[in-house]
Every structure is written in C-alpha cells, then in structure tokens.
Structure 1
Amino acid sequence: MDNIRTVSETKREFYNFFTKPISSIYRRFIEELLVEMHLLSVNADYQYSPIYALGVVTLFEKFMYRYQPDDHQDLIFDALCKSTGGDTKQYRQESNTILNEAETLSISNFKEDFTKSAQEKVNDKLLWKSYYSIAQNPKFKYSRLLAIGLYSLLEKISSDLVESKEEYNKAIEQIANDLGLSSERIQKDIELYCSNLEKMQQLLIAIEDSLEFGRKKRISQQEEDTLKTNDNELKEE
C-alpha cells in the first residue's frame, strides 16, 4: 500500500513553497484551507472537479483580497495548490471557463440545459461535463469547497437569485437532486461560508478603522508637539 501523505508533511511542503511570514490575521484561514484541501486530496473517493476548483479559487480570493503585500497572494495560492497535489494553472483556468459558461445561462433554462447536455452535448462545455461527471459518480466525495463553487455559479447565472430565498432554495434543491447530494448540507455549508465571509470583512474594516485612527492620532500628536516646540522657542526669544 502506498504511504498516505500526512497533514504535517503537507504543511511542511507548503512552507517550503512559501517561505515568507504570513500575516497573523490570515494565518488561521490559510492553514485551515490547507488542511481541508489535504484531507480531500488523500481521500480514496476524491475526484478533482472544476466546480471544486472554483470553490477553492473563490474562497481564497474572497478572504485574501486585502492581503498585503499584494504580490504574495498568488504565491500563497500557488503553494496551497502544489502542496496538496493540485495544478495552480488548471484551478484558475478551469474556474474562469465554467464561470464564463455559466454567464450565458439563466435559472429558467438551467434544468433544461443540463438534461440536454447530459443526453447530447456533455463534452461541448466544461461546466456541463464537470456537472455530469459528479452526477454519474455515486462515490463522489462532497466538500464545502464544492458547495462554494456551486454557489459561485449561481451568483454568476443570476445575482438576484441569491437574494430570493424561495428561488435560491429551489435552485439548491434542483442542483442537489441532479448531483445526488444533500441539499441541506449544501445550504448549511453555503450559509456558513457567507457568515464567515461577512465576519472577516467586518474584522478587516475594524482593523483598517483602528489603523486610520492611530495614524490620525499620531499626526495630531506631531502637530501638537510642533506647536509646543515653536511656543517654547518664541518664549526663549
């Protein structure tokens, strides 16, 4: 039996690829994502899917878009993919491809297009090929990253859809039924993703506000010190 790579080995490999310090604000997010991708990659039922890749790319970009320095973002993502056996270029290219394909769809014809693609043209579009390959695999390993990828597709198909609870629930139920997955689990993972994203955004705003307050306070203090110095010089004269 082949030796299964451990979490520690994957972490060590990640930090071999990315040797810079990671900001403490983002370190926990990065390590949790790394462990999640690792555990999936070593699972016997794991099957790469462009929809899963879209989930990884979306999650990373949503949480890391304010990371500084900017040029470290691509380096960290590359280290995440490589250390878990993935191909960075494939993740990004195929994510973009299925998003672009989703943009041409509408919710009203989503089911019809899937049925038709399954019967006639599944190889024409990467999105339908990916979707159908999951549907035809009873052992497909579900993950919250896949759920995030599905949510990103729904946002691209119709940004208004996610604002309508009734229509959103119908779409999730349809997708879950198509793919043979649990709609309840998909919804729960998407809700947790949205909640965590909102918390992260609030945290970053609070940090930026605190830094701005500190900056203004320092400037004010410098101006006050300058005035005192000038006053003292005038008195001495």
Structure 2
Amino acid sequence: MLVAKRFVAPTAAPRPKAAPAPRSSIARKAVATPVLAATFKPPTVAETKAKFLAGYQKPVASIYSTVLQELLVQQHFMRYSKNYQYNPIFALGFVSVYEQILESLSAEERAAIFKAYVDALGENADTYKRDAQALEQAANGLTPESLHPDANGNDVQKALASIATHSAAGTFSYNKFVAIGLFRLLELSGAKEPSALEKLVKAVGVKPEAVNRDLLMYKGVLSKLAAAKELMREFVEREKRKQAERDAAKAAKAAGTTESSPAQVQA
C-alpha cells in the first residue's frame, strides 16, 4: 500500500496509466471458460461398467455377459469421443446388434438389461428404441434407390443427410453401429445387389473399407455367439437328462424302500 500511495500522489496525469487492474480482471475472465472446459472429464470405463451393474443386478449367463461387457467398453469410447453425435441410424445399428445377441432371453430381461446398458452411457433407452423402430417402419416402405441423403426428405433420408453433412465437415464420428445401421436399412428396403451398400456408404461420406471390415467383424461375432449358444443348449439338455436319471433313481429307491417296509413289519 505504501508503494501505491507514492505512485499515485505526484500528479493526476499518471492515473489513467495506473489502471491496469480492470484489464487484468478481464483477461482472467477470458481464460476462465477454457480452463473450466478443460477440467471436464468423462466417466471412466470402470465407472460406466459399475453403473451398468448397478442398473441390472441379476446374474447374466456368461456367454451374454462377456459380449455385453465388450460392447459396453467399445461403446463407452464411442460415446465420449470428441465428435460423437447421436444419430437414429446409429441407434438402429445398436438395437439390431443387441436384439440378435440376446434373442434367447425373455422380452422382459432384454428390456431391463437394455435400459441399464444405455443409462450407463448417459443416454436415453426410450429414444434409442423409438428412433430404431421409426427407421425400421420407414425403411420397409422404401426402395434401395430412395436410400439417399435428403435434408428435406423422409425420416430415413434426413438421418442419412445428417451423417453426410457431418462427414463433409469432418466432424462425423464413425463407428461400427453406423455401419450395421446402414446395412440394416438396405435389408429392410429389399436391396439385393452388393453394389447398393457401396453406393449408400459413399453417399453419406463414409469409407467403404471401414464399413466392410466392421460388417465382417459383426458377422464373426454372431457366428461365435451362435456356436456358443449351441454348446450351451447341448450342455443344458445333457444336464436335464442327467437330472432326470438321478430323479428316476431316487424314485426307484424310494419305491423299493416303501415296498420292503410291510415285510419288515410282519417279521
């Protein structure tokens, strides 16, 4: 404070120069936003997994649990990537994968696990379901030729246009669920020609090589899962037969004991 008095006292002229405080304050405010943004951190994979397990606490068969955990980890990184934006085609792809993986479970179980899974990613399970169903219904009434981006078109064309716009701007975060969603649209529209997939993929600005790679991986996962389900079915049937044999042996033993009891009483 002594220094401040000696600086201001001599004349009135230096006073305008001696007012850097407001500029310093503004400068601090200017950097406040990026500093706050930099402090934001998405949840960790462990936190996402924990949230899922808290949302669905019943045991899940190992063949399903393993695949679900792998998908959850992969989707965690998709969800919190820099350019991630929700898209109905992404939802269609994920819902298609999910339903095929857990098709052997009851509808009630599938719905409960689905909600816990999507909630764990900080998104809305009802939105996923609603958008996927809307695209399925719309695509059923389309031809392969009508599957093209159009911001003023139907729901499918608008969703395709959104991907195309972000791809052109370099802000689209591609992932395998988008590839599966695009493939599913072609299936629903009745496309038969392999060239239809390449045409659609190029129209939205996605690399055909990436889509083909992800579709092959997807088919591989389904094949492995089908084989695992078959092994489990055989195991369950074998266990049922063994249990039936054990029950029959117990019943026969009990019947033999009952038949011998009167003779023992007479003796």
Q: Which category describes the TM-score, using the shorter chain as reference length? A: 0.7 to 0.9
Cross-structure match for 2:209: 184
Q: Deviations over 1:164-215 (max 9, x none)?
A: xxx22x0121012101111121112112111211221221122112211221
- Aligned counterpart for 1:197 among listed residues 213, 217, 222: 222
| Cα distance between partner residues in 2 of 1:191 and 1:83 | 27
User: What is the TM-score normalised by the length of structure 2?
Assistant: 0.75
Q: Deviations over 1:46-93 (max 9, x none)?
A: 11110000111111110011136x523212111111121211111001
Percent of aligned pairs with the same residue? 27
Greater relative contact order structure (CA < 8 Å, 6+ sep): 1
Q: Deviations over 1:14-65 (max 9, x none)?
A: 2232233332222211111111221111111111110000111111110011
> After alignment, is 30-39 or 220-229 more displaced?
220-229
Question: Residue type matched to 1:106 in 2?
Answer: T
- Aligned counterpart for 2:243 among listed residues 218, 221, 229: 218
**Contact 1:99/1:156 (<8 A) preserved:** yes
Question: Residue type matched to 1:94 in 2?
Answer: D
| Cα distance between partner residues in 1 of 2:230 and 2:95 | 22
Is 1:137 matched up with 2:166? yes
Distance 1:214 1:53, change over 3 A: same
What is the RMSD of the two structures over their aligned residues, measured on CA atoms?
2.2
- Post-superposition offset of 1:128: 0.8
Distance 1:231 1:10, change over 3 A: closer
Mapping of residues 57-72 of structure 1, within 5 Å: 57-67=95-105, 70-72=107-109
Question: Residue type matched to 1:187 in 2?
Answer: N
Cross-structure match for 1:164: none
- Aligned counterpart for 2:76 among listed residues 38, 51, 54: 38
User: What is the TM-score normalised by the length of structure 1?
Assistant: 0.84
Gaps of 5+ in 1: 162-166
Is 1:149 matched up with 2:181? yes
Report the number of matched residues: 221
Distance 1:13 1:232, change over 3 A: closer
Q: Secondary structure at the match of 1:136?
A: helix
**Contact 2:63/2:225 (<8 A) preserved:** no
Mapping of residues 1-237 of structure 1, within 5 Å: 1=38, 2-67=40-105, 70-107=107-144, 109-110=145-146, 114=148, 118=150, 122-138=151-167, 139-158=171-190, 161=192, 167-168=193-194, 170-227=195-252, 230=255, 237=263
Q: Which has the larger radius of gyration?
A: 2
| Cα distance between partner residues in 2 of 1:193 and 1:151 | 11
**Contact 1:55/1:147 (<8 A) preserved:** yes
- Post-superposition offset of 1:224: 4.3
Gaps of 5+ in 2: 1-37
